[in-house]
Amino acid sequence: MAPAVHPKRASLPLPGGSEGAGVTVTPMRTAEMLTQPRFFQRPSGPLATVRGLGLLTPKSKWTWVPVPCFLVEHPTAGAFLIDTGLPPAASHDVRAALGRRAAIVYDIRMEDGWAVTDQLVARGLDPLGIGLVVLTHMHQDHVGAVAQLPRATFVVDGREWQGAIDSGFLHGYRRALYDHDYDWRALDFAAEQVDSFASFGHAIDLFADGSVRLLSTPGHTKGHMSVLLRLQSGRELLLTGDAAYSRATIDEELVPLFCDDVHRYMRSLREIRRYLELTPSALVICGHDPESWPQVRERYE
């Protein structure tokens, strides 16, 4: 079935940038998911993914991991989101939110008030006033609340959009979550005007003021992006997304259980590791790190 919408090419930079701008960032845990013992590091050898699923391992040995998204407030471009987390309905009915197969496979812990829309309201923001959402990629746990943000412009790597439309549940996607006739904009990291930044081979300065850089970090999915933010303090905050599930992933160069392309994944991971070596003052939040999440600040300025 044809998609409901075809993204337009993003016209860059987006409006609202201002010289020397710094942002504030509020991490928001939207849910927790129970993951396999080999979620962070796939076993070696043949049939690695199948053996890593842990189907014969008791759930007591599995790990709950956070499912975050991020509220970013720019002094002149306004407030926007990076990812959206899981759908609000997942708090009480996983099957209704994610489908029959997901309800069988996933254990989700989502308390009332954790959905991104609820958290925005709690912070005095109207979800319908969110004008921009940057998606690191389009797996279910990152696009779950797209439907609740109908007035936003959604920015995604064009390769990721195509991969999400062409793929399905076995690759981590659920088309019903994102195939809405909203304002979708596709990025082309192969375009002539795309630059490099620090250790990253392909980077887009979203507002042309250095405050928000989108980094091409494929491998986890075909068009995965990480995001580098300049805070008001001048320090940089790297949101790896699922290019690195945890800090141990970076430090030990771990290949996770689920990975679209191991070669590209490792290249992206080494760009992240090299950036952190070159920028020791930088802060970093990884995609699903249960050990580091308790130390994540309520707000980064």
How, if at all, do strands 183-187 and 195-197 pair? unpaired
**pLDDT at residue 44 greater than cutoff 90:** no
Which H or E run includes 70? Answer: strand 63-74
Q: CB-based contacts of 170: which residues, under 8 Å, 6+ apart?
A: none
Residue 3 lies in a domain: no
Q: What is the pLDDT of residue 282?
A: 98
Kindly indicate the confidence band of residue 3, based on its pLDDT and cuts at 50, 70 and 90.
confident
- The domain in which residue 194 lies consists of 22-295
- pLDDT tens digits, 103-144: 888 899 999 999 999 999 999 999 999 999 999 999 999 999
Residue 66 lies in a domain: yes
Residue 203 lies in a domain: yes
Which H or E run includes 195? Answer: strand 195-197
Kindly indicate the confidence band of residue 12, based on its pLDDT and cuts at 50, 70 and 90.
very high
Residue 2 lies in a domain: no
Residue 8 lies in a domain: no
**pLDDT at residue 65 greater than cutoff 80:** yes
CB half-sphere exposure, 38, CA atoms < 13 A: 17
pLDDT (average), residues 243-271: 97
Q: Residue 98: give its domain's CATH number.
A: 3.60.15.10
CA neighbor of 87 nearest in space, from 123, 139, 130: 139
User: Count of domains in the chain?
Assistant: 1
pTM (predicted TM-score): 0.96
Residue 7 lies in a domain: no
**pLDDT at residue 48 greater than cutoff 80:** no
How, if at all, do strands 63-74 and 24-35 pair? antiparallel
Burial of 231 (0-12, 13-18, 19+ CB in 10 A): middle
Residue 155 lies in a domain: yes
Residue 1 lies in a domain: no
